[in-house]
Copies of this chain bind each other. A is one copy, B any other.
Amino acid sequence: MRIASVIGTVVATMKQEKLSGRKLLLVREVNTAGKASGEPFVAIDTVDAGKGDIVVVTEGSSARQTTFTDGLPIDAVIVAVIDSLEVEGKVTYRKQ
């Protein structure tokens, strides 16, 4: 799974009916310090993630393996909000 920060939202009126009522969040991959890198992409939230949160994103067919996303045409889902990251014994990120 990729580590990403929630940077914004996507508003879309015309969308697949299966996606109606689903919140589309903009996320961007981050490093272990929580700094953004790479291009933004879109993920569905399942854990009440908010802007600025560092989250775990599951991609591919596994993104459909939650009761909330079963059968949806989506390929990325937020499965956890990260409290802290520890790398080689040091805390590199802690949620504030």
Contacts and interface: CB of A to CB of B under 8 A. Distances in A.
A74 B85 CA distance: 18
Contact of A56 (B42, B49, B66, B71): B42
A1 B75 contact: yes
Interface of A: 1-3, 7-16, 18-19, 24, 26, 29, 31-32, 37-43, 46-49, 51, 56, 58-66, 69, 71-77, 79-88, 92
Given A3-B42, A18-B66, A11 B82 contact: yes
A87 B9 CA distance: 7
A86 B8 contact: yes
24 contacts: A8-B85, A8-B88, A10-B82, A11-B85, A12-B80, A14-B47, A14-B48, A15-B81, A16-B46, A18-B65, A18-B66, A31-B39, A31-B40, A40-B87, A58-B73, A59-B75, A62-B63, A62-B64, A62-B73, A62-B74, A63-B73, A63-B75, A65-B71, A73-B77
